[in-house]
Amino acid sequence: MSEKEATARIKINKLLEAAGWRFFPQGDSPANIRLEPSVTIKSADLDALGDNFERTGKGFVDFLLLDAKGFPLIILEAKAEDKNPLTAKEQARKYARSQNCRFVILSNGNLHYFWDLERGNPYVITSFPTPDSVIGYQKVTPDPQRLIAEQVGEDYIALTQRPNYQSEAGWKNEAERPAYIQANKLHFLRPYQLKAIQRLQAAVGDGKDRFLFEMATGTGKTLTAAAVIKLFLRSGNVRRVLFLVDRLELEDQAKKAFAALLSADFQTVIYKENRDDWRRAEIVVTTVQSLLFNNKYQKLFSPTDFDLVISDEAHRSIGGNARAVFDYFIGWKLGLTATPRDYLRRFDPSNPGTRDPREAERRLLLDTYRTFGCENSQPTFRYSLLDGVKDGYLINPTVVDARTGITTQLLSDEGFVASFTDDTGEDQEQVFKQREFEKRFFADATNQLFCKTFIENALRDPVSGEIGKSIIFAVSQNHAAKLAQILNQMADRVYPGRYQSDFAVQVTSQIPDAQQFTVNFSNNNLLGSGNFIPAYKTGKARVCVTVGMMTTGYDCTDLLNLGLFRPIFSPTDFIQIKGRGTRRHDFLEQLFDETSSSTSSPTVSTSRRSSSTTRC
């Protein structure tokens, strides 16, 4: 036996033991590893074979892993370190069929593949699955044809929320339909959401197991995801779904949405260690960070624990260390994003523009389209902001441009040149670039102009007439504090005695409970209730001044204004920020007394709105 064979054997033995497989009985638990059919390792064999056994008198030894009843479950084909495990693919397949095994593991100690013979190709894994996880995984027998044939109509989710809604009293009366739907909080799929599901079904028919939905902010990615989850669970193609988000507020937001949409048929939990038993749920929501912390995704989960992984805001949750979590689990993969990152567009591998030989590989790993099996930058389904505006579901922002001579120069290629006299009396010049605004270059007059422009041009709430709810993005936390102070001073002059410094609030990581502030702002109770119309449910705070929070995935449907008081260098960030203000909203729904909506001013159109973006 060569040294490479011995090293591979040691590593494989340790991986098996770490995953809970047993060479020897432990208490009431029998051994569940065999070297050959009907040959169980005995303690005495260790002296003869050693820790590094690779051969017996009958030839190469492969592992036969058994289920709880002692029946063959997995064939593990072991190769030496210097051999690609895939070279044993056909040999392992024949062995698996002879033992009536559905699963195969191919390993050389460093590189491992898990192969479900009923699902397709071997999948790279970084740890071996546990016995319980594989047994649970085995309960799902994939049937893509059933998934493809499933009829998905506009009421696909509504039927889960209220199965008998069509036959209940009053439904046949079309005049009562809107009130019935609203009272029971029923959700119906829009035409483009149905098309997304149909495109996914077609992709499954083409043999794909990865999908990407590129949908503009405000077009209902979570509702569409709920329909996808129901489709896979209902058709029996998955047993458990992992919904990955990258922020805590999105975790709670997704859990509440799935509970409201699917709780009649499926249980949803948020994964937190020592919290709800996620094994009993069909839908598990968690942050990428929770799984990454102390490598919990490897220590507490098996690669076969989830049959479908959905990555929310996929452009963020597949980069850096987060990619390891996404790739760890076997099964179907769906990405949701409004801004996929196209790292391969206009990239010439023969002229990469860098000496790093790994540049092409790096771009391939980061490219959202390739990650989800979509070639040529074409997602499984695409629905843009312009599509949403054209169909009447979204609002195209209007832009108010405010700048001073200084900011104009700062944003130019040449930058802003400041002349000054140094301590020795010599005349000096210093050039400031756009990235140095509010970091090395400070201009109080510029901030005053930004805030004045905002106060004068911000869209007003169509019911109360006060400045509509707004988010302003600052350069830094100190800049956010300055802007909030200026805005509160200006609001006190425009609305004397109304806000008591609660008009604008800083929402950054330095502020205690900042995360809860974002939730309260969306729920219309940040710093109390509005004081313009007592019956109108809106928050007292009108403006949140932030830096990087409240961007990706943040939902606040009655938001009217966005202020970009800092340069935005990333197209992805710009589109994500702009997307916070493109949703339509019916402001009359915020009246506590529904009867008062009929007495509201008929001159106010509250069923639609515009979104104003102030660029400075």
* CATH classification of the domain holding 302: 3.40.50.300
What is the structure's pLDDT at 343? 44
531 and 476, same domain (yes or no):
yes
- Give the pLDDT band (50/70/90) at residue 437: low
Contact (CB, 8 A) for 187 and 261: yes
Pick from 129, 102, 140: which is nearest to 239 by CA?
Answer: 140
The predicted pLDDT at position 141 comes to: 86
Q: Could you report the per-residue pLDDT of 602-615, keeping only the tens digit for each?
A: 233 344 344 555 55
Same domain, 118 and 149: no
In a domain, 359, yes or no: no
136 torsion bin: left (phi>0), alpha (psi -120 to 50), beta (else): alpha
Q: Do 466 and 581 belong to one domain?
A: yes
Structural domain of residue 18, as residue ranges?
A: 3-138
What percent of the chain shows pLDDT beyond 90?
37
Domain of 34: which CATH number?
A: 3.90.1570.30
> Is 616 a residue whose pLDDT tops 60?
no
Mean pLDDT, residues 507-528: 89
Average pLDDT over residues 319-342: 80
302's torsion region: left (phi>0), alpha (psi -120 to 50) or beta? Answer: beta
The pLDDT value recorded for residue 194 is: 97
Pairing of strands 63-66, 33-36: antiparallel
Domain boundary among 103, 119, 138: 138
**pLDDT band for position 38 (cuts 50, 70, 90):** very low
Name the pLDDT band for 112 (thresholds 50, 70, 90).
very high
Q: What is the pLDDT of residue 1?
A: 54
**Cα distance between residue 614 and residue 445, in whole Å:** 17
Query: Are 54 and 202 contained in the same domain?
Result: no
Greater confidence (65 vs 435) lies with 65
Residue 431: the pLDDT is 59
**598 or 104: which leads in pLDDT:** 104
Are residue 209 and residue 242 in the same domain, yes or no?
yes
Does residue 357 form part of some domain? no
For residue 426, the model assigns a pLDDT of 64
Q: pTM for this one?
A: 0.77
The 3 state secondary structure assigned to 536-580 is ECCECCCEEEECCCCCCCCCCCCCCEEEECCCCCCHHHHHHHHHH
pLDDT, tens digit (0-9, with 9 covering 90-100), for 203-226: 999 999 999 999 988 899 999 999
Residues 412 and 542 in one domain: no
Residue 202 has pLDDT above 50, yes or no: yes
pLDDT at 257 over 50: yes
Closest CA to 319 of 287, 380, 363, 272: 363
pLDDT of residue 543: 95
Structure tokens at 540: 């007292």
Is the pLDDT at 227 greater than 50, yes or no? yes
Asked whether the predicted pLDDT for residue 545 surpasses 90, the reply is yes
Q: What is the mean pLDDT of residues 8-36?
A: 88
Shared-domain flag, residues 253 and 178 = yes
pLDDT digits (tens, 9 = 90+) for 57-108: 443 447 899 998 999 999 999 888 889 999 999 989 999 999 999 999 999 9
> What integer pLDDT is reported at residue 570 of this predicted model?
72
For residue 346, is it within any domain? no
pLDDT of residue 366: 46
My answer on whether 457 and 427 are in the same domain is no
Specify the pLDDT at position 318.
63
134-170 pLDDT tens trace? 999 998 888 999 999 999 999 999 989 888 887 775 6
368 within a domain of the structure (yes/no): no
Q: Tell me: do 201 and 329 sit in the same domain.
A: yes
Share of the chain above pLDDT 70, in %: 76
Whether residue 397 lies inside any domain: the answer is no
Name the helix (H) or strand (E) containing 112: strand 112-116
Are 580 and 562 spatial neighbours (Cβ–Cβ below 8 Å)? yes
Does some domain include residue 352? no
**Cα distance between residue 165 and residue 160, in whole Å:** 10
More confident of the two residues 612 and 526: 526
Phi-psi region of 236 (alpha: psi -120 to 50; beta: other; left: phi over 0): left
In this predicted structure, what is the pLDDT of residue 398? 81
Least confident interval from 74-78, 400-404, 479-483: 400-404
Asked if residue 380 is part of any domain, the answer here is: yes
Domain edge (last residue) among 101, 120, 138: 138
Contact between 469 and 462 (Cβ < 8 Å): no
- The number of distinct structural domains making up the chain is 4
Residues 170 and 254 in one domain: yes
* pLDDT over threshold 80, residue 350: no
Q: Judge if 609 and 556 occupy the same domain.
A: yes
pLDDT at residue 605, as a whole number: 36
List, as one string, the DSSP characters of 462-474.
TTT-SBPPEEEE-
Over residues 119-134, mean pLDDT: 92
CB 454, CB 525: distance < 8 Å: no
* pLDDT single digits (tens) 262-280: 998 999 988 876 656 788 8
The reply to whether 130 and 177 lie within a common domain is: no
Which band of pLDDT confidence, cut at 50, 70 and 90, is reported for residue 130?
very high
| Alpha carbons 584 and 606: distance in angstroms, whole number | 10
Question: So what's the pLDDT on residue 418?
Answer: 56
Question: Which range (10-14, 24-28, 62-66, 548-552) has the least confidence?
Answer: 548-552
Please give the residue that has the higher pLDDT: either 353 or 143: 143
- Flag whether 586 is in a domain: yes
Average pLDDT in the chain: 80
Q: Judge whether residue 449 has pLDDT over 90.
A: no
